[in-house]
Every structure is written in C-alpha cells, then in structure tokens.
Structure 1
C-alpha cells in the first residue's frame, strides 16, 4: 500500500527525513511513531504529494508519487495536522462542498455526508458553524472528510488530537472497524497506549531516520520474566533463590519462561498467589530503547 525507498527531505541544512524505507502492507494498522521534530509530518506530506522529496522514491497503491498523485488520491482519505474548514459554514455544508470537489456525483452526496458524520459522532451537531466547534469536534470533522469517499487507504496525522478519553476510544473503535472491513490505516501518533490497542505494525523514526519497523506483537514479545503478586513474597524469595530479579512489597519479579508452570510450583509449596502474568515489553520501552533522549528542533520541521 505504501513503499518508500531511501526517501529523503532536506530544508536547507536541516535533514528532516533521512533515507527512509517504509513498508506498509494491505490490511495493516500501521503506527508511525517518533519524538517531536523527528520528521513524521514531513513524511506524511510527502506521501500525499504536498511536499516534494529531495531524493528517493514513493509508491502509494502501487503508483509513483507525486507523478501519479491525481490517480491515487481519490482512493486515499487523509488528515494532516489541523484540518481546514470554512469557519462560518456548518460542518455538514463543509463536507458537502468537499464532496462536490470530488468525483462522487450529486445523487448519493447526502447519504455519503450523513454516513461520514454519523461515523465520527457529529450527526447531532452537524448544523453548527465550525467557528463554534471545539478542537476535538474540528478533528472529528476532518476525519469525516477523510472517510467521505470510503477510501482503500487512510493516512492520518495525529487523528485523536484534542479528543477526550471517550472520543479517543470511539475513534479507535472506528478505525479498527474500518480496517476489519478492508481499509488499510497508516497513522502517526504520540499516544503509545492507544497505539498498543490499535496498531498491528509499527515504524519508529528518530531524527529523520527509520530506526525500527516490525509487527507490534513481535516487539512486545515475552521477556522471560514473570510478575507475581503474593502476600507470601518472602517465602517466594526463599523458595526460588537465584531466580528472583526484584521484590517490592507483595510484588515479585521472577526469571521464568512459563507463568502457568511457575504458578503450579508456587501453589504446590503453599504460596498464596494473588496475581501472576508473563512480563512483556511495553511499546514505551521499545520506543525509548531505539530513540535518542530528545529530538525536538527549535523552529525545525516536524
């Protein structure tokens, strides 16, 4: 769905994107992660033909960008940073005008607009002027515009920006449902907890370079340790001398590959186990391991 080869973008002496090789496959929910200033938004703009690459190649839906952008963009829904709208018009009217600029035709326009508003939770307030919208509502309107043409591919830059926790969950559920119905999703985000619940593949960029690209399940593999909570923590330390990595009150971290086997062993020796689970790497740990201490550039491109 998206392939880049040695994709590079320079702004004067600033190297914003540095030889990135993206591989986004059909059916992915691909999360593009990285610190502020790492080049995420610049790369998203290049995928959509809004910014030209300094060097390298881009293919979206099998066609070169920007050369074939006119053929590709009708099959893509996109949301990049703050979505633009006519502030004196209603959300519904904005979507009608946006739809009229496409090739969808007038006959089914009302239904397309209704469906998009309903999907993003704006159906009940669609006639207010956009000037009265909150940041989260404007973000929902931008996402509705991205969904109007039922795209094969969604390219989203921080799609939950400005939303409250309930809104974030609603958009997450919507993106998963769209993906299960056949839409490939590529999104950049800072919300690692959301990505862990939404993503299937992850690309991590740092200082313009793609430093990691893999399936999320592989990145969050078991660490070979088990987390145990027990009121008999001192007994565990005595019973498993040499296997206990750390102990803090009732919480014990034990070097062991099989939580079920360890549980049976502990219970068999009279240990009361309140909770037990295999330890997995968090996405936060993965990101911190492969990125620097900070990539913010004052005045530089995102």
Structure 2
C-alpha cells in the first residue's frame, strides 16, 4: 500500500525526514508516532505529493509518487494539520465544493454528490448541521467536517494527521469506532499522532519516528510482548513472598511483581501452597515505555544551551 526507500526531505540545513524506509501493507491500521518535531507531518505531506522529497523514492497504492498523483490521489482520503474550509460557507456547501473541485469531480452527477455529502456528514456525526457558516463551528465540529471531507470518495487509503484534535472524549471514541469500521470494510488507515493512547487503542501496527528517522516499525502485539514478569494480587502477600523464594521483585501492599514467564504455572504453584490469588496478569511493555526508550525530547522542549524550538529551520519551517 505504501513503500518508501531512503525518503529524505531537507529544508535548508534542517533535515526534516532522514532516509526513511517504510512499508505499510494493505488492510492495516497503522499508527505513526513521534514527539513534536520528529518529521511525521512532513512525511505524510510527501506521501500526498504536497511536498517533494529531496531524495529517495516512494510508492502509494503501487504507483510512484508524485509522478502518478493524478491516479493515486482520487483514491486517498486525507486530513493534514488543521481542517481547511471556507469560513463563510456552511459545512454542506464546503463539502459539495470540495467534491466538485477534487480529481474527477466535474464528471460526477450533482444528485450523486448530494448523497455522498449527506452520507459523509452522517458518518462523522454532523447530519443535523444547519446553514451556519463554518466560522461559527466549534473546534470539534471543524475536525469532524475535515474527517467528512476525507471520506467523500470512499477512499482505499485514509491518511490522517492528528485526526482527533479538538474532539471531546465521546468524539474520540466515535471516530475510533468509525475508523475501525472503515478498516473492517477494506480501507487501510494510516494515522499520524503524538497521542499514545489513541494509537494504542486503534492501531494494529506502529511506526516510531525520532529526529526525522524511522526508528521502529512493528506489529503492536509483538511490540507489547510479555516482559517475563507477572503482576500478582493476593490477600496473603507475606506467604506468597516466602513460597516464591526470591522471585518477587517488588511488593506494594497486596500486589507483587513476580519474575515468571508462565502465569498458569505460577497460579498452580501458589494454590498448591495454600496462597489465595485474587488476580494474576502477565506484565507487558507499554507503548509509553517503548517511546521513552526510542525517542529524545520533542521540538517543543527548550533546555539550557539547546536554543529555541525548531532553531536552525528556515523562516516558516519547523520540522513536524
């Protein structure tokens, strides 16, 4: 679905994306993670042909980009940075204009356009909007409208940059359910975000960027493999410590962290020795731990001697 080889983008002396080799297979829900300034947005913009690479190559939907943009882009739904809209027009009017102006839009029947617009609005929870201009919308409504615009053409691929920006918890839950539904129906979903919880709850595969480089690309289940430790809750913690003979690494009240790679065998051992077990769970690495291990400080952090965020970038260009 997406393949890049040595993809690089420089803005003057600043390397925003540095020799990225990325593979995203068809049918996945892929989360692109990284601190602010890691190059995520620049990478997404290159995949859409909005920014041309300094070097390297990329294919989207099996075609070279940006050479075959006219064939590729009509099959992609995208939301990059803040949703764009004509503020003096209503949401419906905006979507109708976007649909008509997009690739192949002039050849579509107006009746079909109206149906597509209404379906997109309904899917994102805006079916009941009135004729208010978009400038009167809340931030969350604007975000929903941007997602609706990405869905107008029943895309094979969704490229979404921070898609839940401005949404409340219920809105985030609704969009997560929508993206999962679309993926189940065959749409590949690529989501760029710095929110670990969003990616962990939605995605099946994860890529991590840091300082312009792709430092990890792996299935989420494999990434969160068991650590070889088990979290044990018991009303008999002292007895459990004695029975386990040095395997307990940490005790906090009635919760013990036990060095053991087989929770079932551990449970059998405890029960055989008369230790009551309230709960038993294999400990897994969290996505937060992985990120902290792989990435440095984001571009929004300013330490002594480091200078200002994005220092060295040309005017108007801060690596994202």
Scaled by the length of structure 1, the TM-score of the pair is: 0.97
For 1:40, the equivalent position in structure 2 comes to: 40
1:188 match: secondary structure: strand
For 1:204, the equivalent position in structure 2 comes to: 208
Is 1:255 equivalent to 2:259 in the alignment? yes
For 1:229, the equivalent position in structure 2 comes to: 233
Map 1:156-171 → 2, pairs under 5 A: 156-171=160-175
Alpha-carbon shift at residue 122 of structure 1 (Å): 0.7
* Aligned equivalents of 2:2, 2:139: Cα separation in 1: 30
Alpha-carbon shift at residue 150 of structure 1 (Å): 0.2
Is 1:22 equivalent to 2:26 in the alignment? no
Alpha-carbon shift at residue 69 of structure 1 (Å): 0.7
For 2:5, the equivalent position in structure 1 comes to: 5
Q: Is the 8 A contact 1:117 1:126 kept in 2?
A: no
Map 1:100-249 → 2, pairs under 5 A: 100-102=100-102, 103-104=104-105, 105=108, 106-249=110-253
Alpha-carbon shift at residue 264 of structure 1 (Å): 2.2
* Aligned equivalents of 1:218, 1:210: Cα separation in 2: 18
Would you say how many aligned residue pairs link Structure 1 and Structure 2?
302
* Aligned equivalents of 2:263, 2:299: Cα separation in 1: 38
Alpha-carbon shift at residue 126 of structure 1 (Å): 4.8
1:185 match: secondary structure: strand
Is 1:267 equivalent to 2:271 in the alignment? yes
Alpha-carbon shift at residue 298 of structure 1 (Å): 2.9
2:125 match: secondary structure: coil
Map 1:59-74 → 2, pairs under 5 A: 59-74=59-74
Is 1:301 equivalent to 2:319 in the alignment? yes
Q: Is the 8 A contact 2:38 2:211 kept in 1?
A: yes
* Aligned equivalents of 2:197, 2:161: Cα separation in 1: 16
* Aligned equivalents of 1:287, 1:116: Cα separation in 2: 34
Q: Is the 8 A contact 1:29 1:184 kept in 2?
A: yes
Alpha-carbon shift at residue 46 of structure 1 (Å): 0.5
Alpha-carbon shift at residue 132 of structure 1 (Å): 1.3
* Aligned equivalents of 2:263, 2:131: Cα separation in 1: 55
1:114 match: secondary structure: helix
Q: Is the 8 A contact 1:6 1:21 kept in 2?
A: yes
Q: Is the 8 A contact 1:207 1:295 kept in 2?
A: no
2:128 match: secondary structure: helix
1:125 match: secondary structure: coil
Query: What residue ranges of structure 2 are gaps of 5+ in the alignment?
Result: 301-308, 312-317
Output one character per residue of 1:138-177: Cα deviation in whole Å (capped at 9) or x when no partner. Answer: 1110000000000000000000011111100100000000
* Aligned equivalents of 1:170, 1:44: Cα separation in 2: 24
